[in-house]
Structure 1
């Protein structure tokens, strides 16, 4: 049976007949919209991110983290051309409204335009950070791009010139949409929808967390916004005003990263499962038929009870055996006392072993670290909206929220604790140090990493280590780093260290693990236990090895080559 094996990150529709989905299993699947039957599938070499149909429905373009966009014929899904030349992940690709041209947005900071043969026709340079979203004007003469640099830029297709540079106040804007009359809608990380109509700009407070996708439907003048606050909102557009006409809580299975109109009353959504979800706007009803759980693991922990893991399906496992179903994607496992805590997309902090909800946050939870403060067990949980939520374990075993620290202005990607400090890294590349004793900020380095930071870990003597998309290993001491080149050729997802700091392991989105020996300054030969990404690393003290969890649902043993 054709189905996704990992979360679906992108969906597109055409004419109420076809639905296409792009997945973190590298698959692109074409579906019959009426029967929800897979018609054909194909693959990228890495994560498939987003896709779109041509206006006539004869072609599909998919954007991927393999640094390409690929053009397919519909419905055969035969490969027509590969749009290469990108230096990093391709986040989005969009067809020109009339000509045989395709625009791409890449994390290499550039916007490109190709013809259907895969020949590069234009390369627009000017963004200072990852380009996340693009949209053509209705007449196809201009192209709009949004970037993590906090700007919107309008480009001329004919001349390649930058026509307009719109400063959004430094707030990251992940998604844009353009109406046929030229009005631009932009959704930012502050939960605001910006309406830009010529020289007029209006901000609408739409969500309590960052907006991840805007979709505009011109015939009915409807705008859909999706946010990590787990709300779907439908807006009626009248002049420059946005009037909310429908709202729904997004089910735990649905990923608010992508949606598309199937018709004026029906939306199709990306999910964390094997197929797409459907929402009927007039009734507010969700249809998750055939959305089955997938096996991807997001976190593994070597615990006294065994090897504990959790992932996309929210099923806690010990030594591979299911123990508890939390029914929502979970990102981390943090032990505190005799408990193990977890959380993820719903923003709920759980006692992983009992399933008891402990705390509800306004945005997804991403990472955690345990520490001692005044002799009492504590933990800090990092969120998508930049907060560090501090909890204390009472003598009766209850978990109490004691503080909220604004660690960053963007998503906390990873957090670690030493005896005296908390250390966190952020999606904007920054790093922050906080005092455990006072729970006050010690230092923040805005440019700690040149790209998105993904992971960090503690080392002995109040030192830390971090990794990022820039493929560097950074060892931090006294708020300064020693930057080391790694053998990785793709983004590093995670890092872990042995308790004595003698070994540091790094894992990449391409399935490689490389272990660094600080004493010799040498890297051990890289190993690739899987072609899927490495999601987390931890040290197994009992067997003096690292454990690497993967999005393929397995946990791999990574031996250490002992020094001679």
Structure 2
């Protein structure tokens, strides 16, 4: 039974304005030649009945009432313009008579059919909040779009009008259903809503000169952002949008000079080149803190103090640093070690720190002063692990010298030396006050009597024991070794009681829940697994990361935080296994993550040498549905120039409208990463290929899957159409090449010969031959017979790619051996092109086949003469490896993209860089040119696609004064908050920590 809070109406109330406004208005709407909606004169249905909406938008509890009484306290029927209908009749345009309304709504047998229900004598409620949200959203929408701007209307007149709109009554930040419903209408192909987007922009503009529409403006921009509308390069000086939600917003280049941005949320937004001069930003929310930097080398570990007020970090730079959690600043720098600090621990009273180092020493430090108290010497090799006893009187250490030693804290003298291990000891732990557990590379875990130094138990593993955890009652030990298995042992007997199998690759870490009921494990198999300790059964598999290195339970055991080599941190719900949040910002692999003991924050450190603190207290407010949720692996223009298709590691293929950037379709069906997509030549079909070993063909118009091409037994690496579009060729990790009928999906030929993965395939320009390359060699095949015609050998390392020349006479290949080779197809002769200093990642012939351009991990592009094989020039400018390169259609320009996150346009004749296109927040994986040469498409590891173009020029017309710009960005940008080149001069309201964050991310004051 659905009952919605205090939203109560009485039977004597007038039922008005909760109707199918959309249906009634359709009868009165005309769309003129300028696509501006007109409301017929005389129709005042949107304004004459306001009672319900006055209460909805001004009441203490949103929409407490669904009706009102008239002046004579007489019951009113639904008006002719605004009528109440059952949910089944919501599209019916008939007028419902008074008695029918009451009969249906207040005396119906099945309440499931109606939006209201009786809750007592003379009282009624909405059945469900979604009903309320629907009607409220409809009211707001038609309130906004029914306004017809007059040509001679002054700004002041419009401001007065805008103040009266329902959207200006209250902030909708807590009414996400309403926001989402309105946002969905923005992208509908329905003439009714054609003006909605522009009207919302107009409302934002109106806030420039008056505070009276600031609520409407904040709601408008929040709705536009929820609809994934690009808001870059806007002239929004002086706007007033306090408390707007601009999470993940694309605002690059927008001007917010003198704007009121108090309380605005910019979580993971793109604020590159945004101007905030003189803006008010009190209470602004970034969702991130300034990172803690100071270490000059890899961070080896962090630990919170027992009271949770400070934490320490230790590093390969030989130092230990103590940090204040609330102030997020360094309190102490502990210097003394002369080699890597491998381990450190607080004493249980938080007054001391013990550390162990590659300099073979153990050191004791005073936390308050940072002073070194004692040096403990005796180990003859690296000290890998140290721990205080429970009473803080002793220290236990383990070393690469194969020994465990017990030390007296007060005197610094060695009390015991425990021998028995035959390899490095990398973990020591206290089982209780009398026993020590040690873990070694000799494949054993050993339990020792602390007083006598005698060995009590030996737990033998099949491989090197990597890590161990102990249940709080000390009854069981959980260990993992250098394989995919987790072991559970009984402490008293030393027997192995359970083996947990499920991971397919090395386990990198395990952790126990605080109640000892569950284990979480993470692995290089890209999964996190939750296990029940009692039964040993696997409860959940969490997927989304790649190369996961760490996972921890939250203090309440309801969440898991994980970190990975993919640079991301992810939050998961333990019960459902659902991914709740992705935290992005680290520039290198995440090494460790920790929940704060007393706050809803997370601490992480990374190979980027930084420590970061993340606020996870605020759930994502706005659900942005348009865009890939993982790395974009491919994108391409349609031949007709109207659409773009993209694919991603999120296993989806998405279709986009070029003009608006609107997402048109999402194609789902692949069960693994989608690695590439291409359009058919008529733009009616899309072909996608995946690591799931399948090729799928989709209908562009309907979004339906037409065919699945199955036959390969391993991931597909490349697919190409024949020049006439009748065939497809595919290459796979299964070492085979297959030719398919593009219409029927039938396999025509199976080509075997390669002894390693087939990396690339291509039809010859005349369609009679196929070229393929593998790690080993290049092969040429006859299409009709499937016969192997030729093998080209010469490269000394893996071949990166191949290309036919446009005239079909030559083949270009490029390799990890730093060379390119040109092969004459008729003679088989080769030219070796040398010059690159690192592996060659891409190459393309000029349209006339006379030149070849290549790109490399040496950060350069090189232009070559095809006839002679001589290098013509070197194009320098990229600051990281160049991923892809292409000629413009006329061969006059060269376009490149790089791991330095930029796209660059070059003059092919002079080699001079003409333009630098920046904005992506991750490595750019590829570019594609539109067929008419007017636009560039780029896609990136930051999960976004960008369209670049010029208002009045093609790529061939680009000069230093006639430049291209970003037309739109689609997708939800990863890599966290972007503030590069933003301007914050004279802003008011930033905290000192926020100012530091802005500076760290490239903003200027």
1:556 equivalenced with 2:900 (yes/no): no
The residue correspondences of 1:52-63 to structure 2 (distance < 5 A) are: 54-56=302-304
User: Which blocks of at least 5 consecutive residues in structure 1 are unaligned?
Assistant: 7-22, 28-36, 64-70, 82-93, 104-135, 143-176, 186-193, 237-243
Correspondence for 2:654: 316
1:394 equivalenced with 2:745 (yes/no): no
Whole-angstrom distance in 2 between the partners of 1:62 and 1:2: 37
1:227 equivalenced with 2:525 (yes/no): yes
Correspondence for 2:904: 514
Correspondence for 1:30: none
Match of 2:548 among 237, 249, 258: 258
Correspondence for 2:878: 488
More strand by share: 1
Shift of 1:472: 2.9
- Relative distance call for 1:557 and 1:407 in structure 2 (3 A) is farther
Match of 2:579 among 268, 288, 311: 288
1:530 equivalenced with 2:776 (yes/no): no
1:307 equivalenced with 2:695 (yes/no): no
Shift of 1:506: 0.7
Q: TM-score, normalised by structure 1?
A: 0.53
Whole-angstrom distance in 2 between the partners of 1:343 and 1:72: 51
Whole-angstrom distance in 1 between the partners of 2:675 and 2:580: 25
Secondary structure of residue in 2 paired with 1:98: strand
More deviation in 216-225 or 285-294?
216-225
1:340 equivalenced with 2:728 (yes/no): no
- Paired residues of 2:890 and 2:956 also in contact (CA < 8 A): no
More deviation in 266-275 or 332-341?
266-275
- Relative distance call for 1:41 and 1:226 in structure 2 (3 A) is same
- Paired residues of 2:507 and 2:521 also in contact (CA < 8 A): no
Shift of 1:311: 4.6
- Paired residues of 2:482 and 2:507 also in contact (CA < 8 A): no
Shift of 1:507: 0.8
Q: Give the count of matched residue pairs.
A: 415
1:541 equivalenced with 2:931 (yes/no): yes
- Relative distance call for 1:205 and 1:98 in structure 2 (3 A) is closer
1:497 equivalenced with 2:851 (yes/no): no
Shift of 1:542: 1.5
Whole-angstrom distance in 2 between the partners of 1:364 and 1:38: 40
Whole-angstrom distance in 1 between the partners of 2:313 and 2:890: 49
- Paired residues of 1:387 and 1:405 also in contact (CA < 8 A): no
Correspondence for 2:855: 467
Correspondence for 1:97: 343
- Relative distance call for 1:468 and 1:235 in structure 2 (3 A) is farther
- Relative distance call for 1:299 and 1:563 in structure 2 (3 A) is closer
Whole-angstrom distance in 2 between the partners of 1:373 and 1:474: 29
Shift of 1:488: 0.5
Whole-angstrom distance in 2 between the partners of 1:554 and 1:250: 30
Q: TM-score, normalised by structure 2?
A: 0.33
Whole-angstrom distance in 2 between the partners of 1:406 and 1:74: 63
Cα deviation code 1:171-191 (max 9, x no counterpart): xxxxxx999724399xxxxxx
- Relative distance call for 1:182 and 1:500 in structure 2 (3 A) is farther
- Relative distance call for 1:315 and 1:396 in structure 2 (3 A) is closer
Shift of 1:490: 1.8
Whole-angstrom distance in 1 between the partners of 2:907 and 2:312: 46
Cα deviation code 1:258-301 (max 9, x no counterpart): 25332498754469999825375xx8x52224576674654331
Whole-angstrom distance in 2 between the partners of 1:273 and 1:348: 29
1:380 equivalenced with 2:727 (yes/no): no
More helix by share: 2
- Paired residues of 1:422 and 1:435 also in contact (CA < 8 A): yes
Whole-angstrom distance in 1 between the partners of 2:776 and 2:856: 11
- Relative distance call for 1:204 and 1:388 in structure 2 (3 A) is same
Whole-angstrom distance in 2 between the partners of 1:538 and 1:480: 26
Shift of 1:54: 0.7
Secondary structure of residue in 2 paired with 1:554: strand
Match of 2:509 among 207, 212, 215: 215
- Relative distance call for 1:469 and 1:560 in structure 2 (3 A) is same
Whole-angstrom distance in 1 between the partners of 2:735 and 2:563: 28
The residue correspondences of 1:77-88 to structure 2 (distance < 5 A) are: 78=328
Shift of 1:78: 4.3
Cα deviation code 1:474-500 (max 9, x no counterpart): 568699895945320122233233456
Cα deviation code 1:523-563 (max 9, x no counterpart): 33241241424342112232455333454443223753559
Correspondence for 1:169: none
Whole-angstrom distance in 2 between the partners of 1:389 and 1:62: 50
User: Which blocks of at least 5 consecutive residues in structure 2 are unaligned?
Assistant: 1-244, 251-267, 273-284, 316-320, 332-339, 346-352, 358-382, 387-397, 401-425, 429-437, 444-461, 467-480, 486-500, 583-622, 798-815, 819-836, 960-1005
Shift of 1:448: 2.9
